[in-house]
Structure 1
Amino acid sequence: MIERPTLPAALRAVGLTLVAPPAATVAIVAARALADARACPAARILAVATNESDERAALLAGADDASSGSDTTIALRARRLLAPAAAITIGSLHIDRITRTARRNGRPLSLLPREYALLDLLARHCNQTVARAQLHQALFGLRFDPGTNVLAVHVSRLRAALEREGGAPMLLTDRGRGYRLIPDHPPPVPR
């Protein structure tokens, strides 16, 4: 538990409320409790450290940010972690998160709301396999596999939209694990 009694007030001052995982989008944890925060894999983790050495250790252990500063600084860093990027570009795919639209090679993709949510989630985890369980939770609010093909149907529709007009495959299936979105062309090699 974080022993900073004025932190909730500092968070409220920037428009945030401190909640405990797994409901949290940003997990604010004591640096020594970083492993416990991984119980909520979708959360961004801000480690509250007691000194600079703890900050470095928390960042090396996988925290998205760490601070040993004032409660106001911690609150501002939490707000920054929550601010989504307005746009995501992966190869020829461009996702506008404000208008909730996507384009590939300049061509708009016709996506249903859940297909857009699936694309957005996979894009935020580009090149990483997103587990089926995590997708069921994020898209349908289910904490279990319902034993239906509803997820596979949305993946199939998204894949068809992405690959329309001969586009290179971007949405891969990692059999038995989940799905992964990759760039359609590798990044340039520095010279």
Structure 2
Amino acid sequence: MSQHPNAVLALMSNDVLARMQPHLDVVPLESGAVLGEPFRRIPHAYFPHSAMNRVTVQIRGEASGISLAQFAALMLEISELRKGVIRFEQYLFAQAQQTGACNAHHTVSQKLCKWLLRMHDLTGPVLPLTQEFIAYMIGVRRTSVSDAAKTLQADGLIDYHRGTIRVLNKTKMESQACECADDLRNQYRDAMLAEEVA
């Protein structure tokens, strides 16, 4: 395993990372930047260091970027990289299934705690997030997020001021989050950290 700041690339051997490094550029990702659009070919693959992104950057930070053509060529050449990408795709599929089940069965407060913990793990305790954006991400109304955030703040778990949330008590938040947070960590561990069976 390497010391790369991206979780997927950190799982690659130093040899694989050395082969990729000449093609990787560290790029800033600003909140709201669009990395890809439906039905259009994306020009680059991004490996976030501190940003949170899907198709649109959600929390600004940095990423290692590589042209999609070069990335595809390296995946054909390097089986370890190809297997790592496939494992990550399997994790994303499991995450989507888990999120669907979570949205159907857990309270807004539980989902909010789960989601804030995930963001905390990815970017740290200070989260530049609006209630509207959080509501979109966890599939509820903004007023529901507002009510849940007020309760979390009153209980000393977060400090919330317009557009910024600071996680104050991660341990207590973990106890109030739905079990999906642990399930997602376990799914990540199983998909990304499992030893390959010979």
Q: TM-score range by the shorter chain?
A: 0.3 to 0.5
Higher relative CO (Cα under 8 Å, sequence separation at least 6) belongs to 2
Q: Which has the larger radius of gyration?
A: 1
TM-score by length of 1: 0.38
Please give the TM-score of this superposition, normalised by the length of structure 2.
0.37
Which has the larger helix fraction?
2
